[in-house]
């Protein structure tokens, strides 16, 4: 940014200043300009992202990679001058698991290396195996029974639900103005577009039947003495998706070695086997379980508040640092972590003196059920099962989350909080030129702001351009550093830093929705 642009920005913010004053804030337009200047011109977000992805590696829940990342981020926060950088346990998770070797190839009818990775928490093959394959396809228990007596010592091939084909749609996209307008126009009181109850129940029943069949299939494949399983969750072009993994609990029942495969490779094996051509697989996985420490952790650090009355209050920002294991979890969610880390680095570098304390959190074990943030919320604020509020509950001004890939911020989900929406609209004003314009009252789910929302705390997730998150990177072996566009990451860092600053400088905490009732079924 050059000086003229800085002046123009300061001018734009000056126009908005009376609005801040009306609302009761000590946010300084010059500080907002400094935040933008630091974030756009001296960004370290890609360097941070490189360390989180390439250097720390895959960061599966309670893995060695996640431990490396926790240690590195704690150290990095301290290096940047944050206070109280801590690796804080949130509760008991389960076993750690890392891959030490993974090799799979077809050795007959001819040699071909296959693309795949061990499914999380599956055991080793205990050395290399060379086995014949058998295809198992069943949609009913009767169909499954037909395989009895045929699986011993075989590598079982499970079916591919969605075979790849030439793609006439781009992997990546950005939100259009029309889509953003539709989000902005959303009214919570609008009749919800939910499917009718009967249809829902039918689908749930189908799902239960399918899950029961899958469990029976797994049990049978194990008890019949198969050697290993090759399965496919989806993907194309050498990209494959990973699924939810085998059980990670310390007392989980045994499962077979299983690899999740690129669909093209899996389909070749299946076509050959179904044509009656003998297919031989060579396979070796070596996985390491860690049972010494079953706890899960979050990493937290602070920029202390400076206002005597308000410094006991906290503005939080966070993102989950754990990932799946077949890549380096770049868009899910090193991107969110790098942006949140960069936001607090920017604030420190800009010399912010926040009225409230700013606390950044990098959550563990999100992928298995938002465990890190839910544990943290339960330990610090309230258990949604009882809704007995802890003293810190009244001190949280806001929580901001980022976990929808590496796309730039286009706005924010106000999560049904109608009183917060106009505040966010004001805070977004300086960022229209950077593409962030939209406040929607819509709820969005699937990530850690829900843990706060569940106990009546104002937790929000930003709207991000989808890019290729849904099609290519989310839970795949191709969720790598290449998928992080530097310009998007910088923009997001500046928007987040600005929101956090605003929330820390405002006279009042962000408005809250009505406290929810206790939900005993949400006990952790």
Task: Give the residues lining the site for a second copy (CB under 8 A).
Answer: 50, 54-55, 57-58, 64-65, 68, 98-103, 105, 109-113, 115, 117, 163-173, 236-240, 262-264, 267-268, 271-272, 275, 277, 328, 467-468, 472, 477-478, 480-483, 485
Asked if 367 contacts 319 with a C-beta cutoff of 8 angstroms, the reply is no
> DSSP code of 340?
H
Asked if 358 contacts 343 with a C-beta cutoff of 8 angstroms, the reply is no
In the three-class reduction of DSSP (H, G, I as helix; E, B as strand; rest coil), residue 49 is classed as helix
CB of 53 to a second copy, least distance (A): 8
CA distances from 111 to 277, 289, 480 (A): 14, 31, 28
57 or 456: CB nearest a second copy: 57
Name, in order, each residue with C-beta under 8 angstroms of 433's C-beta and a sequence gap of 6 or more. Answer: none
Of 239, 236, 446, the C-alpha closest to 327 is 239
Of 440, 436, 462, 430, the C-alpha closest to 181 is 440
Q: Give me the residue label for tokens 């001819």.
A: 110
CB of 83 to a second copy, least distance (A): 28
472 or 506: CB nearest a second copy: 472
> DSSP code of 254?
P
CB of 174 to a second copy, least distance (A): 8
Residue 475 corresponds to which tokens in the numbers above? 């839970």
CB of 127 to a second copy, least distance (A): 14
CB of 119 to a second copy, least distance (A): 14
119 or 355: CB nearest a second copy: 119
Burial of 163 (0-12, 13-18, 19+ CB in 10 A): middle
173 or 395: CB nearest a second copy: 173
Alpha helices of 113-190 — where are they, by DSSP H?
141-145, 177-185
CB of 115 to a second copy, least distance (A): 6
Q: 349-363: buried (b, 16+ CB within 10 Å) or exposed (e) per residue?
A: bbebebbbbbbbbbb
328 or 438: CB nearest a second copy: 328
Asked if 261 contacts 234 with a C-beta cutoff of 8 angstroms, the reply is no
145 or 289: CB nearest a second copy: 289
483 or 490: CB nearest a second copy: 483
In the three-class reduction of DSSP (H, G, I as helix; E, B as strand; rest coil), residue 287 is classed as strand
60 or 220: CB nearest a second copy: 60
CB of 524 to a second copy, least distance (A): 30
CB of 286 to a second copy, least distance (A): 9
Q: What CA–CA distance (Å, rounded) separates 133 from 147?
A: 13
For the chain, give the number of residues. 524
Peptide bond into 376 cis (omega under 30): no
172 or 385: CB nearest a second copy: 172
CB of 21 to a second copy, least distance (A): 41
Burial of 280 (0-12, 13-18, 19+ CB in 10 A): middle
448 or 465: CB nearest a second copy: 465
Asked if 397 contacts 356 with a C-beta cutoff of 8 angstroms, the reply is yes
Q: What CA–CA distance (Å, rounded) separates 273 from 129?
A: 18
CB of 275 to a second copy, least distance (A): 7
């Amino acid at each position: 940014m050059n000086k003229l642009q800085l002046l123009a920005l300061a001018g734009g913010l000056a126009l908005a200043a009376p609005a801040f004053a009306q609302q009761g804030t000590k946010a300084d337009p010059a500080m907002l300009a400094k935040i933008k200047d630091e974030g756009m011109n001296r960004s370290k977000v890609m360097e941070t992202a490189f360390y989180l992805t390439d250097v720390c590696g895959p960061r599966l829940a309670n893995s060695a990679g996640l431990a490396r990342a926790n240690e590195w981020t704690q150290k990095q926060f301290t290096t940047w001058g944050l206070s109280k950088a801590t690796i804080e346990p949130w509760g008991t998770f389960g076993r750690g698991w890392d891959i030490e070797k993974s090799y799979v190839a077809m050795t007959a009818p001819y040699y071909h290396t296959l693309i795949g990775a061990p499914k999380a928490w599956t055991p080793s093959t205990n050395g290399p195996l060379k086995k014949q394959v058998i295809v198992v396809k069943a949609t009913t228990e009767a169909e499954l029974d037909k395989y009895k007596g045929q699986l011993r010592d075989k590598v079982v091939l499970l079916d591919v639900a969605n075979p790849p084909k030439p793609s006439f749609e781009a992997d990546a996209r950005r939100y259009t103005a029309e889509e953003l307008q539709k989000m902005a126009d959303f009214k919570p009181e609008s009749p919800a577009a939910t499917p009718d109850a009967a249809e829902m129940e039918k689908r749930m029943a189908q799902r239960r039947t399918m899950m029961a069949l899958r469990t029976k299939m797994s049990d049978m494949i194990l008890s019949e003495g198969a050697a290993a399983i090759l399965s496919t969750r989806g993907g194309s072009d050498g990209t494959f998706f990973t699924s939810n993994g085998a059980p990670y609990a310390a007392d989980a029942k045994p499962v077979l070695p299983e690899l999740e495969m690129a669909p093209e490779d899996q389909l070749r094996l299946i076509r050959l086997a179904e044509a009656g051509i003998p297919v031989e697989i060579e396979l070796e996985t070596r996985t390491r379980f860690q049972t010494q420490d079953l706890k899960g952790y979050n990493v937290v650090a602070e920029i202390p508040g400076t206002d005597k009355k308000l410094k006991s209050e906290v503005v939080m920002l966070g993102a989950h640092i754990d990932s799946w294991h077949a890549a380096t979890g770049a868009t899910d969610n090193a991107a969110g972590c790098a942006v949140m880390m960069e936001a607090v680095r920017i604030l420190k570098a800009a010399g912010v003196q926040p009225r409230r304390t700013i606390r950044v959190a990098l959550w563990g074990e999100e992928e298995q059920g938002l465990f890190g943030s839910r544990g943290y919320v339960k330990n610090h604020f309230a258990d949604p099962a009882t809704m007995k509020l802890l003293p810190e509950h009244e001190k949280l001004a806001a929580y901001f989350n980022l976990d929808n890939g590496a796309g730039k911020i286009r706005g924010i989900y106000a999560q049904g909080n109608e009183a917060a929406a106009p505040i966010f609209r004001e805070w977004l004003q300086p960022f229209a030129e950077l593409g962030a314009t939209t406040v929607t009252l819509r709820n969005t789910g699937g990530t850690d702001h829900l843990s706060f929302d569940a106990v009546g705390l104002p937790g929000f997730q930003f709207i991000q351009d989808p890019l290729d998150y849904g099609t290519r990177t989310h839970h795949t072996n191709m969720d790598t550093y290449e998928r992080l566009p530097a310009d998007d990451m910088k923009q997001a860092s500046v928007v987040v830093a600005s929101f956090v600053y605003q929330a820390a400088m405002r006279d009042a905490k962000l408005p809250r929705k009505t406290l929810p009732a206790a939900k005993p079924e949400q006990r952790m």
